[in-house]
Amino acid sequence: MPVLDISLKNFHLDMIDIRQQANVRTALVFGASFLGIYWAYRQFSRRHIKLPPGPYAFPIVGNMPQLAGVVDPWKVFLRHRAKYGDVVMYSVGSLKMVVVCGYKTIREVLIDKGHCVSNRPNWLYIIDKLFNRSGVFWSNGETWKNMRRFTLVTLRDFGVGKKSLEERIQEECMIMVEQIDKKKGQAFDPKQFLAKAVSNIICTIVFGTRFDHNDPEFNLLLDHLDFLFKNAGVAVPENFFPFMAKLRSNKPAQKMIDNDTEIQKFVLRKIEEHRRSFDPTLTRDFIDMYLKVCQDETETFKVSEKDVFRVTVDLFLAGSETTATSLRWVMLYWIRYPEIQERCYQNIMEVAGDGRLVNLTDKVDLVYLMGFLNEVLRVVCIAPTSPPRAVNEEFKVNGYTLEKDTMVLCHIKSAHFDPDYWDNPEEFNPDRWIGPDGKLVKHRAFMPFGAGVRACMGESLSYMELFLFAANLLPRYQFKVPDGRKTPSLEGKQTGVTMQPEQYDVIAVPR
Ligand code: HEM
């Protein structure tokens, strides 16, 4: 009975098929129910979390219309703080951003809960394209830990706090003196001099060499870095809506990437030059340190070329503009308050009146000058809102939950003007830094370099530069507003990350 045989076999196969289909269906129903229950559980359990309040967020674009392209975002954040409190939430698409104000709350976030906000939001489109999750500024996790360690050791080994770097900064200051002398009392904008002098200090640490101020390669590098610094901010729409990178006719994202490629070529040329002259017994600079680590077979920690390039750019981006801009503010406050400039000068004369160069050991005696520098950093607050962090572990602050991956900005300027921690915070007063014993006092709400695990890595270097430049320029010149010109305002503008003073000229009258 072959026919029946076949049909029986078919029947058997059909049964298997039906049973398999039933199994698949059961699995699907079971899976869907599980997901449904899980979703309901998540919704229910998250109903109890209290997110921070904030201004109305539009569908899809969220708060982008209120924030994109805003000049002085720190002022907008302060207006919202007055309405919503110390923790204010914004959103763009599905991303959440929180701005934290006031010293007490900032401290709680950056120090007490610092381990929960140790990431940077490196998923932002342009930032991710540029920084490639490498280097130290925008990396996270193991890469960040390794690169932070490598960078700190290298900065220490190549002179931060050491005599050799001190001499290099003094030398750079004297080159600036030669150039100021050439002005012969004519008005000039100190911006370029200061930018080149400070960048040359980073060049010394990274490449082991300085550049002539007229070197075209150096000037091109500075132009590229300046472009990147001014444009690679967080509040660029492409960071949140990558499709806009193709839509916007002026293609700002592509320009930044092209610009970054040019800097990359420069650094790679320097790495090649170093490779040709490399001597493992003589580590000359940051790049040599990288080559050494690469060649050392016993070294467990490996640095990639991508990382070394990125850290180099990180050091330029984080270290040149910030310090050079601080020095421009220092000069502006001198010309705005001639009597304070005179007190700084007298303070230096008491210690180094014989015309010698001021060095780092003089710092303890130059208390008024140090108080003045701190006061400039306080009132100006070069980075009024700190570079963003990202929540890596959900936590609560002031009763509000900050969910994982929320972007966090700390409003440093609000801490610097917090009336609970400063007497007359609006007043520019270097004397607030001098204690009854005549020594420099510390103020805990002073945090121009951020705080916690990701605090600035260049604080000591910056102070070295600010102090040595200020203390060695002032004995040589009295800085003044050019005759007949209006005294520049102290208002300033936040462009990108930093507070920029308005363009101004000075005259330097030899003492
Ligand atoms: C007046 C000058 C400077 C100011 C006001 C400043 C300010 C800051 C601030 C506010 C942060 C963020 C900290 C945080 O997230 O909590 C930062 C980070 C950083 N700064 Fe500075 N900085 C200055 C100079 C420098 C210099 C000279 C260097 C390098 C030589 C440097 C290297 C860095 C690096 C690498 C980071 C990232 C650290 C990390 O993410 O682990 N900075 N800086």
Tell me the pLDDT tens digit for each residue of 71-121.
889 999 999 999 999 999 999 877 899 999 999 999 999 999 999 999 999
The mean pLDDT of 168-182, rounded to a whole number, is 94
Q: Which domain holds residue 499?
A: 64-510
Do 389 and 379 form a contact (C-beta atoms < 8 A)? no
Cα distance between residue 107 and residue 101, in whole Å: 10
**Is pLDDT above 80 for 7?**
no
Confidence of residue 249 (pLDDT cuts 50, 70, 90): low
Cα distance between residue 139 and residue 304, in whole Å: 13
> Which residue do the tokens 């939001």 mark?
121
Do 86 and 105 form a contact (C-beta atoms < 8 A)? yes
Number of domains in the chain: 1
Ligand 1 site, residue 213, Cβ cutoff 6 A: no
Per residue in 451-484, pLDDT tens?
A: 999 999 999 999 999 999 999 999 999 999 999 9
Do 135 and 144 form a contact (C-beta atoms < 8 A)? no
Confidence of residue 263 (pLDDT cuts 50, 70, 90): confident
- Classify residue 1: in a domain, yes or no: no
For residue 68, give the DSSP letter.
T
Map residue 378 onto helix, strand or coil: helix
- Classify residue 37: in a domain, yes or no: no
Residue nearest ligand 1's atom 43 by CA = 456
What pLDDT is attached to residue 2? 43
Ligand 1 site, residue 463, Cβ cutoff 6 A: no
| Cα-based distances in Å from 506 to 190, 476, 501 | 7, 14, 13
Tokens of 321: 């503009």
| Cα-based distances in Å from 208 to 168, 179, 493 | 11, 23, 34
Kindly give, in sequence order, each residue whose CB lies less than 8 Å from that of residue 478, ignoring residues fewer than 6 positions away. Answer: 341, 345, 508, 509, 511
Ligand 1 site, residue 454, Cβ cutoff 6 A: yes
Cα distance between residue 432 and residue 423, in whole Å: 9
Cα distance between residue 372 and residue 305, in whole Å: 41
Of 44-58, 315-329, 482-496, least confident by mean pLDDT is 44-58
User: How far is ligand 1, taken at its centre, from the CA of residue 454, in Å?
Assistant: 9
User: How far is ligand 1, taken at its centre, from the CA of residue 160, in Å?
Assistant: 14
Per residue in 340-350, pLDDT tens?
A: 999 999 999 99
Confidence of residue 6 (pLDDT cuts 50, 70, 90): very low
The mean pLDDT of 481-496, rounded to a whole number, is 90
Ligand 1 site, residue 453, Cβ cutoff 6 A: no
- Classify residue 95: in a domain, yes or no: yes
Per residue in 224-248, pLDDT tens?
A: 888 877 776 666 677 777 777 666 6
Ligand 1 site, residue 200, Cβ cutoff 6 A: no
Query: What does 241-288 look like in DSSP terms, one character per residue?
Result: -TTHHHH-TT-HHHHHHHHHHHHHHHHHHHHHHHHHT--TT---SHHH
Confidence of residue 4 (pLDDT cuts 50, 70, 90): very low
Cα distance between residue 406 and residue 95, in whole Å: 7
Ligand 1 site, residue 158, Cβ cutoff 6 A: no
Q: What percent of the chain has pLDDT over 90?
A: 56
Per residue in 370-387, pLDDT tens?
A: 999 999 999 999 999 999
Q: What is the CATH number of the domain that holds 181?
A: 1.10.630.10
What pLDDT is attached to residue 116? 97
| Cα-based distances in Å from 456 to 32, 119, 387, 461 | 48, 14, 10, 10
**Is pLDDT above 60 for 296?**
yes
Binding site feature residues for heme: 456
- Classify residue 373: in a domain, yes or no: yes
**Given ligand 1 and candidates 408, 456, 460, 497, which is best to mutate, with the most ligand atoms within 8 Å of its CB?**
456
- Classify residue 15: in a domain, yes or no: no
Q: Where are the beta strands (DSSP E) in 322-468?
A: 389-390, 395-397, 400-402, 407-410
User: How far is ligand 1, taken at its centre, from the CA of residue 276, in Å?
Assistant: 32
Ligand 1 site, residue 458, Cβ cutoff 6 A: yes
Residue nearest ligand 1's atom 11 by CA = 456
Binding site feature residues: 456
- Closest ligand 1 atom to Cα of 151: 35
Ligand 1 site, residue 307, Cβ cutoff 6 A: no
**Given ligand 1 and candidates 449, 461, 467, which is best to mutate, with the most ligand atoms within 8 Å of its CB?**
449
Do 385 and 410 form a contact (C-beta atoms < 8 A)? yes
ipTM entry? 0.99
Cα distance between residue 237 and residue 388, in whole Å: 16
Residue nearest ligand 1's atom 36 by CA = 456
For residue 489, give the DSSP letter.
P
- The closest of 163, 161, 158 to 204, measured between CA atoms, is 158
- Classify residue 306: in a domain, yes or no: yes
Cα distance between residue 57 and residue 69, in whole Å: 17
For residue 395, give the DSSP letter.
E
- Classify residue 355: in a domain, yes or no: yes
Ligand 1 site, residue 118, Cβ cutoff 6 A: no
Ligand 1 site, residue 387, Cβ cutoff 6 A: yes
Mean pLDDT for the chain?
A: 87
- Classify residue 121: in a domain, yes or no: yes
What pLDDT is attached to residue 502? 94
**Is pLDDT above 70 for 37?**
no
Ligand 1 site, residue 384, Cβ cutoff 6 A: no
What pLDDT is attached to residue 256? 81
Cα distance between residue 239 and residue 253, in whole Å: 9
| Cα Dmax for the chain | 123
